[in-house]
Amino acid sequence: MSDGSSFYITTPIFYVNDVPHIGHAYTEVAADVLARWHRQAGDDTWFLTGTDEHGQKILRTATANGVTPKQWADKLVAEAWEPLLATIDISNDDFIRTTEPRHEKNVQLFLQRLYDAGYIYTGEYEGYYCVGCEEYKQLSDLVDGTGQYEGQLVCAIHSKPVELLKERNYFFRMSDFAERLLALYEERPDFVQPESVRNEIVSFVRRGLTDLSISRQTFDWGIKVPWDESHVVYVWFDALLNYATAAGYGSDDEKFARLWPATHIVGKDIARFHAVIWPAMLLAAGLEVPRQVYGHGWLLVGGEKMSKSKLTGIAPEQITDTFGSDAFRYYFLRAINFGQDGSFSWEDLSARYQAELANGFGNLASRVVAMVTRYFDGAVPAAVEGAVTDAERRIRETERRVTAAADSAIDRLAVHEAIARIWELVDELNGYITEQEPWALAKDPAQAARLATVLNTAVRGIGTLAVLLSPVVPEAAAKLWTALGGAGTVQQQPIRSAWEWEGGARVEPLEALFPRIEVEATA
């Protein structure tokens, strides 16, 4: 997946029943960092996100608000979901809405192909349906309700009662694919990640697969089944296909061939849809299964998954208004091991902002630029041969090492690890400046060669950091790059050889990258 080959990455398409919270933003920033990294590495990168607009959940919300589901979706997309992308600086290449003709038409095409190939039949189903999940649940997925739902069975994710439905629908012969899926998980151990999610998926499929009800007759907010317009397509079957329809399935074969297959970043709540149903659908259609499905952990509040339905959602702007988008992106990807659950706290956010971004990275950059300005009138000094010591050689070695280590972590989708590796250079450069004391060297004319060498090393070091951190903190990296007099934009700098940057001619004044924030005791 490196060296100019294609890297197609997706987020889930989010339900427009409500506005985004920081859980949705978390998935977006994780996928965005991966996309930006690959783009900067020169890979043919395509990053897709979008919205999931059909189904009962949206229909009910719209009806409760006295508008049509399309009106509701249009409003939420324009007022909440598209603005989210600007709020957290997302670099998506495309945004798909499932109500667009390019999607609807090709969902029908896909379904018709499965029908013609004999994978669809008519059947009857009775089961417990969770509208929050838009999914039939097994009894093992349900728990006893508490509070107002005492005595009822509720969905373990939404804590709301399920509905007993009995329907005559079209079914997809998903059970035919159990063996092939198990072989896939076996042959490609990294197909589903992380390990904990993989294990859960494997044991789920080992218990055997049932066929999947893929149409609904009791409401009409959905894509019509092409051979029987009294049915609409089941919302998940419709939604999963966004990854293919947006990539040109049915409309642009060349684009589809170039991009497919994709890496899907999703929350672990919907890993089963992506790692079981979706590859089964693709196998039935004779298409390649995804490159990878990564089910990341949950942001927790009070030990439970943060969610709007439980009124625990925090709006991303609550954080970015105070700390900025870079800090949002950095915090969630650094503080939480990607793949594990994590709790958000204002205290932790502000402590990391101050210690790591403001003092660790921001201050390092400001001091180096200020010293070049003061001691060399802004002209970046060259290192002087003969004045280079082991300390400089160690910094060069660290630059080289962390560049390679971060790239390898990104390849494994270990975003937190990539940032931690890059931070080793932040820490080492800070230690280097403390030890070398350029302010002391500046006082002694006999140390001119050492001063030039130390500041040259420091400039190259923070330039390397700007290039490596650009996918994570794009605004700060761009400001720093400009101040360092780097050529072009920081995003154009080849990330896999970040350490090779040799410094520009002059530095320009640099405003504080992460200004001091007086935080009130929020929430």
| Binding site, annotated residues | 130, 133, 155, 158
Among 54, 57, 137, 155, the active-site one is 155
Q: Of 24 and 421, which has the nearer Cβ to ligand ME8?
A: 24
Q: Of 13 and 84, which has the nearer Cβ to ligand ME8?
A: 13
Residue 279 interacts with ligand ME8 (CB under 6 A): yes or no: no
In terms of Cα–Cα distance, which of 284, 222, 239, 313 is closest to 52?
239
Report the distance separating Cα 350 and Cα 367, nearest Å: 22
Report the distance separating Cα 381 and Cα 459, nearest Å: 9
* End-to-end C-alpha distance for the chain, whole angstroms: 43
Would you call 133 a catalytic residue per the annotation?
yes
The stretch among 22-30, 111-119, 214-222, 476-484 that binds ligand ME8 (CB under 6 A) is 22-30
Would you call 264 a catalytic residue per the annotation?
no
Gyration radius from the chain CA atoms: 26
b/e code 39-51 from CB counts within 10 Å (16+ = b): bbbebebbbbbbb
Residue 368 interacts with ligand ME8 (CB under 6 A): yes or no: no
Residue among 7, 8, 26, 46 that touches ligand ME8 (CB under 6 A): 26
Q: Of 16 and 452, which has the nearer Cβ to ligand ME8?
A: 16
Q: What minimum distance in Å lies between the beta carbon of 113 and ligand ME8?
A: 19
The torsion of the CA quartet 265, 137, 242, 282, rounded to 10 degrees, works out to 90
Report the distance separating Cα 272 and Cα 136, nearest Å: 13
Contact status, residue 316 vs residue 511, Cβ threshold 8 Å:
no
Q: Of 305 and 334, which has the nearer Cβ to ligand ME8?
A: 305
Would you call 130 a catalytic residue per the annotation?
yes
- Number of C-alpha atoms within 13 angstroms, CB side, residue 251? 14
33 phi/psi in degrees, rounded to 5: -65, -40
Spatial neighbors of 119 by CB under 8 A, at least 6 apart, are 172, 173, 176, 284
Residue 266 interacts with ligand ME8 (CB under 6 A): yes or no: yes
Which two structure tokens, joined as six digits, stand for 129? 């349906």
Would you call 24 a catalytic residue per the annotation?
yes
Q: Of 191 and 375, which has the nearer Cβ to ligand ME8?
A: 191
The residue at minimum Cβ distance from ligand ME8 is: 23
Q: Of 242 and 350, which has the nearer Cβ to ligand ME8?
A: 242
Q: Which of residues 204-243 bind ligand ME8 (CB under 6 A)?
A: 239-240, 242
Position of tokens 């896999």? 496
Would you call 155 a catalytic residue per the annotation?
yes
Q: Which of residues 297-336 bind ligand ME8 (CB under 6 A)?
A: 298-299, 305-307
Which two structure tokens, joined as six digits, stand for 383? 């290192």
Q: Which residues are annotated as a binding site for Zn(2+)?
A: 130, 133, 155, 158
The stretch among 6-14, 59-67, 73-81, 113-121 that binds ligand ME8 (CB under 6 A) is 6-14
Would you call 38 a catalytic residue per the annotation?
no
Report the distance separating Cα 355 and Cα 362, nearest Å: 10
Report the distance separating Cα 345 and Cα 51, nearest Å: 28
Report the distance separating Cα 119 and Cα 173, nearest Å: 5
Residue 411 interacts with ligand ME8 (CB under 6 A): yes or no: no
Residue 338 interacts with ligand ME8 (CB under 6 A): yes or no: no
Residue 481 interacts with ligand ME8 (CB under 6 A): yes or no: no
For ligand ME8, the binding residues (CB under 6 A) are 12-15, 23-24, 26-27, 52, 239-240, 242, 266-267, 269-270, 298-299, 305-307
Q: What amino acid positions are annotated as catalytic residues?
A: 21, 24, 130, 133, 155, 158, 305, 308
